Amino acid sequence: MGREVVSGPDTSSLGRESSWDGVRVVVLGFGVSGFAAADNLTHLGASVTALADRATAAQLEKAELLEVLGARVDIHAGATERLPDDGVDLVIASPGFRPDSPLLQQAADRGVPVWGEVELAWRLRPVGPSGEPAPWLCVTGTNGKTTTTQMLDTILRTAGLRSVAAGNVGLPIVEAVMDPAPYDVFAVELSSFQLHYTSSMGAQAAAVLNLAEDHLDWYAGDWLGRAGHATGMDAYAADKGRIYDGVERACVYNLADPGTEALVREAEVVEGARAVGFTLGMPSVGNLGVVEDLLVDRAFIEERATSAAELCTLADLAPDGGEPAPHVVANALAAAALARAHGVDQVAVRDGLRGFRLDGHRIAVVATRDGITWVDDSKATNPHAAQSSLQAYDPVVWVAGGLAKGASFDELVRSVASRLRGVVLIGRDRDVIAASLSRHAPDVPVITLDAPDTGSTEGGPDLMRRVVAAAEQLAVAGDTVLLAPGCASQDQFTDYGARGDMFAEAARGTPSP
């Protein structure tokens, strides 16, 4: 099939089979998704300019490759503040850029459309052997997105499908859809930032796992008022809800979180799409849930009015023994619902969940000594995630702090105060957590560690040795020391992985004198 020619700045019909020759595209940001967009647009024949304020050595090597292929790459301080004057037809915005960033405001003033990498990927989907593009099964929520998406991908692969976890986890979604060997189905994790810049996507099935305060620093500013949103949380939730727009088969939501159900009710879906809830209790007709020690389906079986289909046991989710944490069960139910919406059978769901293993830095036991268990959940980068971890342990010495991103810790502290043996606080926004502890857990001992904001791993190992020494002062045999910071890491570490690795190394070391 030949590509249709799109003349001038009209980008509304651009897609996989279009001619991109002469289409002038600015890619804002040069991270993983930005590079994937710039690389593939260059391959399609677009005139690409990639802008970034800074780059790592590896990114600079990629920039050189892109320039050899014909793209223009401009990396210097302030490069992302000005839209080029020589004509721009389309901007691809990396998710870290807020709508009120200078370049995006200039694009709006000039009437230049702004897409995210996800929107670009949706438009570039290839037609498969069935005559239709491969479907997307999409996941968002404040917490559990990555685990649920990876569980889903494992289930799909177990069912014999060529699947990939992509989007906010795994491959950039543009790279995935441009793979020469087509996929049968995509398991797509989407952040609120990515969804903000997405308009035409229509998933086969989609899930919002939960809603809690996070990234409120991104959802602050005058642009919210212009968009008609009263508060940052409203804007954040609205962007999450965009995942349901255009859904074909099932909108999966959390029966314990009324906010997710509200998003389903507001969504514009394809006629015939169903609302399917999941619960940690006994499910009603049309939902998934738990009966005694079984995960069951009462949504995707013909006899759902009178019976339930067994999916797996709780023990299948805890291969190392013990009981799975409640949020792990919830994630498994959501992944199962999406897979069942796609048509996956019960056996593949069971075997996929049984064979799944969590990534590192997710409630991982990293050391046990002197009767104290040390657990790394560095991936808990907001209060809701930290609360889920804390509720799995009692008593616990909590290690917390970092970049709070505008979130409040009052609800978290109120809910876990009785479990806390003590708290060790680090990071730039440690005083925010300390204030919540003072209000709602005044009798819990707190040790606050001062440290420079390095923005790198410099000083990180020493800081974590001090964290371990402080925790040892508070913990007694039978306690758990839990790194569940409730905050982002970039004030003192390169990322949450580095933070968790350094905590694990310190916890395994010789006890401090």
How confident is the model at residue 134, as a pLDDT? 96
How confident is the model at residue 451, as a pLDDT? 64
How confident is the model at residue 4, as a pLDDT? 40
Q: What is the mean pLDDT of each run of 10 residues along the chain (513 residues)?
A: 44 88 94 93 95 90 93 94 91 90 93 95 90 95 91 97 91 93 95 93 97 73 57 84 97 97 96 97 97 96 90 88 84 98 97 85 82 90 85 90 88 92 93 94 92 56 91 92 92 88 86 42
Pairwise CA distance, residues 167 & 117, whole Å: 9
Pairwise CA distance, residues 72 & 42, whole Å: 10
Pairwise CA distance, residues 105 & 436, whole Å: 37
Candidates 331, 29, 498; CA nearest to 312 is 331
How confident is the model at residue 458, as a pLDDT? 60
The angle formed by the CA atoms of residues 111, 115 and 117, to the nearest 5 degrees, is 160
The angle formed by the CA atoms of residues 434, 435 and 438, to the nearest 5 degrees, is 85
* Helical spans, DSSP H, in 343-442: 346-355, 383-390, 410-416, 430-440
Give the 3-state secondary structure of residue 185: strand
Pairwise CA distance, residues 144 & 388, whole Å: 10
How confident is the model at residue 3, as a pLDDT? 38
The angle formed by the CA atoms of residues 194, 198 and 202, to the nearest 5 degrees, is 115
Helix axes 346-355, 326-342, angle to 10 degrees: 140
pTM of the entire predicted model: 0.77
170 Rama class: left (phi>0) / alpha (psi -120 to 50) / beta: left
Which helix (H) or strand (E) segment holds residue 4: the answer is strand 4-5
Go through the domains of the chain in sequence order and give each one's CATH number.
22-112 (3.40.50.720), 122-355 (3.40.1190.10), 364-508 (3.90.190.20)
Candidates 154, 186, 207, 187; CA nearest to 348 is 154
302 phi, psi to nearest 5 deg: -65, -35
Pairwise CA distance, residues 114 & 106, whole Å: 11
Candidates 58, 60, 317, 259; CA nearest to 50 is 60
Pairwise CA distance, residues 134 & 246, whole Å: 15
Residue 466: other Cβ atoms inside 10 A: 18
Which helix (H) or strand (E) segment holds residue 50: the answer is strand 47-52
How confident is the model at residue 324, as a pLDDT? 86
Cβ within 8 Å of residue 272, ≥6 positions away: 248, 249
Query: With contact defined as beta carbons under 8 Å apart, do 208 and 140 qualify?
Result: yes
How confident is the model at residue 455, as a pLDDT? 45
Give the 3-state secondary structure of residue 369: strand
Pairwise CA distance, residues 41 & 71, whole Å: 9
Q: In what order do the strands lie in the sheet with 90-93?
A: 72-75, 47-52, 24-28, 90-93, 114-116
How confident is the model at residue 432, as a pLDDT? 94
